[in-house]
Amino acid sequence: MGAALIDGDVAARCHANCIEYAREGARRSGPAGEIVERDGVLLFASASDFPVFANGAFRLDPAVPAERVIDIADAWFGERGRGWSLGTTSWDGTDQDLADAAAARGLMVVADTPGMVCDERLPDAPVPDGVEVRVLATPEESEAFVAMADQAYTSLGLPAGVISAMSATPMRLAVHEVTGGAFDGDDLLSGAQVFFSHGIAGVYCVGTAEAARGRGLAELVTRTVTNLGFDAGAPYVTLQASPMGESIYRRMGYRELYRYATHARFI
């Protein structure tokens, strides 16, 4: 099998993993979360009404016309009085019509980031003195992770309270979702998740408490959960890099596979 065909399968699985993680965000919102699949379109809403990350749509069937995708999402979120966001990938031009239609219909590109993949286990990073890296194992540690991530992601423009609102039910301490953290005693300084679906693993929600930044902890926990993915049998691990993390991930060994765009409808 040629490299292009192999990367095509990888890209499809990476995108599917990202979509499944979006479903997980709605599930964590408890009764306030909604997940609907309609006419080849996924619609998800969380306990937060923020349009980006917390409420959105993906085209599941590439045969669905782009205008139809936007019509469905506009109607569904309009009933809820919310804005929403649309995720598209640049792989093989499949979503170009969707990106063009989003622009024509007034959706704003709020993020254009690399969808990246790591093909092999990474060297473990040295752990700074006074820091312990471990897998979160209790509801209290899960709550600490949510609070840390909620604060940390304000640096990327996510309003405070969005991640907390989306975590009405505890992050599941289960085999399909593992959270690693860097601790100073009982204080969680940095953390990241690895999420398993579609035969691969994806790294999400990498964050570091503001007071603990500049110590290499985000790289430490990213390496940790990346390797947890490989150790669990994933053939590769994916992530969508933020501007703050992109250069770090490239240095670690992640490579860009496609661009990932987020188009938002604000109301």
d(CA 222, CA 229): 11
Concatenate the DSSP letters of all residues of 95-131 into one string: THHHHHHHHHTT-EEEEEEEEEEE-SPPPPPPPPTT-
Check residue 135 and give left, alpha or beta (phi > 0: left; psi -120 to 50: alpha). beta
What stretch of H or E contains 75?
Answer: helix 66-79
pLDDT in tens, 96-121: 999 999 999 999 999 999 999 999 99
pLDDT in tens, 21-36: 999 999 999 999 999 9
How many CB atoms are closer than 10 A to CB 8? Answer: 15
Give the pLDDT of residue 70.
Answer: 98
